[in-house]
Amino acid sequence: MRAVVQRVHWARIQVGGETVARTDRGLLVLLGIGAGDTPDCATWMARKIAGLRIFPDHTERFNLSVQDVGGSVLVVSQFTLYGDAQRGFRPSFSLAAPPAQAQPLYERVAELLRSEHNLHVETGIFGAMMDVESSNWGPVTILLEKESGSQS
């Protein structure tokens, strides 16, 4: 499972010109599900996202999490995080989970952020063509990765 996590002033998702999700100060999470990912990967990812200390404290150091600052999270399904372009110029997505496997794990990450980490979470529409806009604060962008079967 892979996530690109951006600290944002705001972010929103539009589908067909209509805003379907938005967040103010918090995190924009682009979430990719790999073919070997499990519910344990989703649990790890939700915990990591919720606890990631990338917000400034009173000394401007990265000491606070999205939970600490009362922020919210916008989670977007992003299978292209598993694009492999090492050969040629057209990426292969063979490492990405198929939709029937990916959607429940994507939804599990969002639900765990809500239920276990008490965050306000909004999501995109799984499988839809979405326009994602954001104002990256910093900019701060962190890549998280949990390989299925790894123990961290």
Active-site residue numbers? Answer: 78-80
β-strand partners of 74: 28, 122
Give Cβ neighbours of residue 57 (< 8 Å, ≥ 6 apart).
63, 64
Q: Determine contact, residues 128/99, Cβ cutoff 8 Å.
A: no
Alpha carbon distance 131, 12 (integer Å): 8
What the block records as the tokens of 42 is: 């989703």
